[in-house]
Structure 1
Amino acid sequence: MNKQITSIQNPLIRQLAQLKDKSRERKKAGQFLIEGKREISLAIKGSYELETILFYPDLFSHEQLNDLTNKQINTIEISKEVYQKLAYRDTTEGVLAIAKNKSHSVSDIEFKTKKPLVLVAEAPEKPGNIGAILRTADAANVDAVIIANPKTDLYNPNIIRSSVGCLFTNQIATGNTSEIITFLKSKNINIYCAALQASVNYHTQDFKKPTAIIVGTEATGLSDEWLEHATQNIIIPMQGEIDSMNVSVAAGILIFEAKRQRNFI
């Protein structure tokens, strides 16, 4: 029989509420919460280790629980009050999982092709933008996503939610700008920086070679270190009054141009 927890004062539930709300607690515990059937399924597919699944049976049945995973994972039946305490989204599915953090070092990246396509975002601040970037990366099936100088941890519930689980489908790493540049150069990957200075139109470049597309924030753009090491700065021609667009939109345009050149679309 499943273990049951009905009180929000239960020590485990209080601990999980901290995991949901605080990056510091996620790093300290080496754990994070995943909410939703699709997200949990993608995490399992992405080889994340799940420690416990919690479910509210009025929304998520025992049959659905059995369909979710065929592995022997600890399960806990929770009350409506407990579920509402832990759930992050307004549209609820009644299931959450406690998962173990993964290492996201650039040294962990393994390429299965000799001409990888990599997307690098420097210092993105908004979890929604990071989530959108991860969705773009998944749609284009890029070989890796790297977040340089991250402003938030990857397991922020807003990132998981806005990426609709694509956090778990991408090969993703974090690091500082210097180590990422060193890594890309060690793999002989061309560095194309989206920047206004000394730029050429993005579609004039050959992205069929090993390629990293580098995007920065709308407010500050890329740091000088990236520009100093760029193979070429590239620009998306703008026909309106402003000179920048949302970072996830820019990333999508550039990545899918690379895919077009590679005859994948």
Structure 2
Amino acid sequence: MKSPIHISSTQNKLIKNIILLKEKSRERRKTGLFVLEGLREFQLALKGGYEVKQVFFEPSIVSLNEINALIESFSGKPDIIEISKEVYKKIAYRETTEGVLAIAKAKSHELKTIQFKNKAPLILVAEAPEKPGNIGALLRTADAANVDTVFIANPKTDLYNPNIIRSSVGCVFTRNIGTGTTQELISYLKEKNIAIYCAALTASKNYLEVNFKEASALVVGTESTGLTDTWLENSTQNVIIPMEGEIDSMNVSVSAAILIFEAKRQRKIQ
């Protein structure tokens, strides 16, 4: 069992480093590190093969034995740091949490790292999602449907933003995720012979009339502006979810879920 380091001061350098990583995207990009919080998130990060550098725990909430049990089956043991209640209150992102935070090494999400498990992959593409909560919801939807890959085109924030980790409930650690510009992603999909289906209001087919059984990328844009012309000009087929009320759009994660689960339904009956 690894003996912990003890920290009781909020002015400790390691504690200041955690706060910096949580609050500054630039610091996360510069160091290649990020902060995760919560037992479930920690477990999913380990399951996803992330390298955990340091684990911080508050002993009145979670015991050292529990922490050691979590990491015992993994190589590359992280430093274990016991923190006081005052320190924990200072660095904890959520009020209702399980007494665990960790610093981990970010993964590369370049397109060249993406591997498909299926010959006819089902892919979700989101162009320039701005709200971390929407990105988290998209990742949860992708996890629920077990899509092959999620691509983020022209990302507005890094994937290790604490709000994305929290709203995805840790799915960011276990999904196959790639990032790139819109043009890079379009070129990639075409090179792989993956059909591009863009959610759009114009020149569109009812999504129920489209065949998603072959390799397919379902592309969604922002709720305010939709997809850029570049996607629409390169679309295999635009698709639309008919609206029966007064508005003509839904939350992006809801739209994505409808399209994804229709594709999954089709694939189950082929």
Name the TM tier (shorter chain): over 0.9
Matched position secondary structure for 1:227 = helix
Return the offset for 1:82: 1.2
The match for 1:142 among 133, 139, 147 is 147
Matched to 1:141, the amino acid is: N
The match for 2:191 among 175, 186, 209 is 186
How far apart, in 2, do the equivalents of 1:175 and 1:82 lie? 38
Matched position secondary structure for 1:85 = helix
Partner of 1:129: 134
Matched position secondary structure for 2:65 = helix
Return the offset for 1:15: 1.2
**Which shows bigger deviation, 67-76 or 241-250?**
67-76
Partner of 1:112: 117
How far apart, in 2, do the equivalents of 1:141 and 1:178 lie? 26
Q: Which runs of 5+ in 2 are unaligned?
A: none
Matched position secondary structure for 2:172 = coil
How far apart, in 1, do the equivalents of 2:78 and 2:93 lie? 22
Number of equivalences:
264
How far apart, in 2, do the equivalents of 1:214 and 1:197 lie? 14
**Which shows bigger deviation, 177-186 or 1-10?**
1-10
How far apart, in 1, do the equivalents of 2:70 and 2:142 lie? 25
Note the alpha carbon deviations across 1:74-110, whole angstroms, 9 max, x for none. Answer: 1000111111111111212100110001100111110
Return the offset for 1:190: 0.2
Matched to 1:79, the amino acid is: S
Matched to 1:203, the amino acid is: L
How far apart, in 1, do the equivalents of 2:112 and 2:213 lie? 24
| Contact persistence 1:34–1:96 (CA under 8 A) | yes
Partner of 2:15: 13
Matched, 1:229 2:231: no
Partner of 1:262: 267
Note the alpha carbon deviations across 1:5-54, whole angstroms, 9 max, x for none. Answer: 11110111111100011101111111000000000100111011100111
How far apart, in 2, do the equivalents of 1:2 and 1:169 lie? 28
How far apart, in 2, do the equivalents of 1:239 and 1:202 lie? 15
CA RMSD of aligned residues (A): 0.9
Compute the TM-score of the two structures, normalised by the length of structure 1: 0.98
Partner of 2:27: 25
Matched position secondary structure for 1:88 = coil
| Contact persistence 1:49–1:99 (CA under 8 A) | yes
How far apart, in 1, do the equivalents of 2:97 and 2:211 lie? 45
Return the offset for 1:166: 0.4
Matched, 1:159 2:161: no
Matched, 1:103 2:108: yes
| Contact persistence 1:37–1:68 (CA under 8 A) | no
Return the offset for 1:63: 2.1
Matched to 1:80, the amino acid is: K
Partner of 2:225: 220
Matched to 1:25, the amino acid is: E
The match for 2:65 among 63, 66, 70 is 63
- State percent identity of aligned pairs: 65
Q: Which runs of 5+ in 1 are unaligned?
A: none
How far apart, in 1, do the equivalents of 2:78 and 2:19 lie? 21
How far apart, in 2, do the equivalents of 1:256 and 1:26 lie? 34
Partner of 2:94: 89
How far apart, in 1, do the equivalents of 2:144 and 2:71 lie? 25
Matched to 2:146, the amino acid is: N
Partner of 1:78: 83
Return the offset for 1:67: 2.2
Compute the TM-score of the two structures, normalised by the length of structure 2: 0.96
**Which shows bigger deviation, 85-94 or 201-210?**
85-94
Return the offset for 1:68: 1.4
Residues 158-177 of structure 1 mapped to structure 2, 5 A cutoff: 158-177=163-182
